[in-house]
Amino acid sequence: MLAIDHLQNPTPTRMQRAHGQARVSFRSRDGRTGLDRLFQEGCAKLRFPRPLGADDPQAILINTAGGLTGGDRFGAEVELAAGTRACLTTQACERIYRSTGADAVVTNRLRLAAGARLDWLPQETILFDGGRLSRRLDVDLEGDAELVAVEAVLFGRQAMGETLRSGHLHDRWRIRRGGRLLFADDLRVEGDIAARLAPQAALAGHHAMATVLFAGAAPERFLDQARSIIGPAGGASAWNGKFLARLVAETGLALRRRLEPLLTLLMGGRALPKVWQL
């Protein structure tokens, strides 16, 4: 009887989940930025190609799981010592696949000492129908540290005719300088995502969007050129030591064509990492 009950009421199968955590810090050696410490766990890996024509190190964050789904956890911690400069990007677009109920959780933490500069340049995130993502970016800046940060999201792949009828996205930013809040942003959309993004006050039916932030001295100097790059599908403003731009586009490729020159502008003319080149 016990055997029959066991067959009729099997124990729920515990599904395998991906976990990845990477931590990296940089310090100055003889006036040049070099790797200080590196930690890699699970599906998170960091690689350090040598940038052409540049002294600042690059770190490429790789998710060897090939994408994220409900219950997966992934994240990075980056620390820059005083006077260091570095760039961190991702190997490719991150993919958020259909979930059975739980969120994929991504947590990134950045700490920059005085005089440091970080270009935080992950490539686009693709949210598939039924995907659920909860992502958090926490940044602590000290003194005159500078940050360029971007997060871009593609709501399905237009070339594949995908439409998001269900899903969840919560994107949370908190940027602090000297312990005081400099910028806070929360984006949350769930349910029938395509319908929720259709109104003019949302994305007006566009399927790709990006948020770009520069935190540093004299952000107003970027405004005129940035607005020319962005055009009518988006906007930019600068106040209280920060520059903020929002961009929307019909496709990921159209978004990328404006993101690239905008990021190059904010990076002082330096080239984007080679993995950004289509």
Where residue 6 falls among pLDDT bands split at 50, 70, 90? low
Residue 117: CB atoms within 10 A of its CB come to 21
Greater model confidence, 209 or 49: 209
Q: Quick check: is 264 in a domain?
A: yes
Give the chain's domain count.
Answer: 1
Q: Quick check: is 133 in a domain?
A: yes
**Does the pLDDT of residue 204 top 90, yes or no?**
no
Q: Quick check: is 199 in a domain?
A: yes
- Give residue-wise pLDDT tens across range 63-89: 999 999 999 999 999 999 999 999 999
Where residue 108 falls among pLDDT bands split at 50, 70, 90? very high
* Residue 43 contacts residue 64 (beta carbons within 8 Å): yes
| Full residue range of the structural domain in which residue 220 is found | 90-276
- Compute CA 69 distance to the chain's CA centroid, rounded to the nearest angstrom: 16
Which range, of 54-63, 90-99, 205-214, averages the lowest pLDDT? 54-63
Q: Quick check: is 161 in a domain?
A: yes
**Does the pLDDT of residue 12 top 90, yes or no?**
no
Q: Quick check: is 77 in a domain?
A: no
Q: Quick check: is 32 in a domain?
A: no
Q: Quick check: is 84 in a domain?
A: no
The DSSP output letter for 271 is: P
Q: Quick check: is 52 in a domain?
A: no
Identify the CA nearest to 218 among candidates 246, 238, 237.
Answer: 238
